[in-house]
Amino acid sequence: MSTRTAFDKAAADGRAALVGYLPAGFPDVAGGIDALRAMVEAGCDVIEVGLPYSDPVMDGPTIQAAAQQALDRGVRTADVLRTVEAVAATGTPTVVMTYWNPVESYGRASGRGSGRSGVERFARDLHAAGGAGLITPDLTPDSAPAWIAAADELNLDKVFLVAPSSTDARVELTVAASRGFVYATAVMGVTGARTTTSDLAGPLVARTKAAAERLGSDLPVGVGLGVSNGAQAAEVAAKGGIGADGVIVGSAFVRTLLDHPDDRAAGLRALTALTEDLAGGVRRA
């Protein structure tokens, strides 16, 4: 199921979509699945499953810590796909957020899938698991012909990123190449929860929507900028404010679980409470 379905449903309800992120395998594979299902039940409209990677140059310390825990426990791409399958079974559109190297090299070590590239194999296995597509933070559309071809063959979402530093031409190129939604990362620097929203977000959303209009598209714009509570989510989603079609939250969810390392039940309760607060925020907006 495409993420666009969730964005359209939220828009029909007069609100933004809530997009929630956790890395697969954190705190372990089964615990991560339980956490993501709890987020769905508490109000997340779209789920991002992170693929833990050993060189996460765009991630802040919170997400790096969680991803490293997963890697230390031996999580593999197969576990990521298993997590996607379990979450997608709830009927919630589920995408993988990943750096590009693990996709490009997928299956190479085992020699599996002879005759197909790693990108093609990853796309087919993601599709088979019920995944909606990929968010690719370090891959630009002009460097992505293999992924675009594989995604188009299977109708998978291609979620590329725009940033405040993106030129208008770059924004338009990104919007044209994206499917599902476009990811506006409205804070310069690495990821992480913040106490205030960025004053760069509103202009970036406006430029992205203007580019879509020039292309005759109504592609939704999801905004990620370190939202950590319902009040911030409302500000990002407000039509008179930043005006995002989706509010993307990652570090705040990860931090909630990191704060409860020895009590899984308490961590899930706290995660549910945070999700409900954020879901209330996008609805208040």
Instruction: Report the catalytic residues.
Output: 48, 59
Rounded CA-CA distance 155/153 in Å is 6
3-state DSSP helix/strand/coil % of the chain, to nearest 5: 50, 15, 40
Q: How far apart, in whole angstroms, are the C-alpha atoms of residue 148 and residue 144?
A: 6
For 175, the token pair is: 């919007």
Verify cis geometry, omega within 30 degrees of 0, for the bond prior to 52: no
Q: Which amino acid does the sequence have at 103?
A: V
Helix (H) or strand (E) holding 138: none
- The closest alpha carbon to 248, from 267, 228, 269, belongs to 228
Alpha carbon dihedral 24, 278, 90, 262, in 10-degree steps, equals 40
Distance separating alpha carbons of residues 122 and 127, to the nearest angstrom: 8
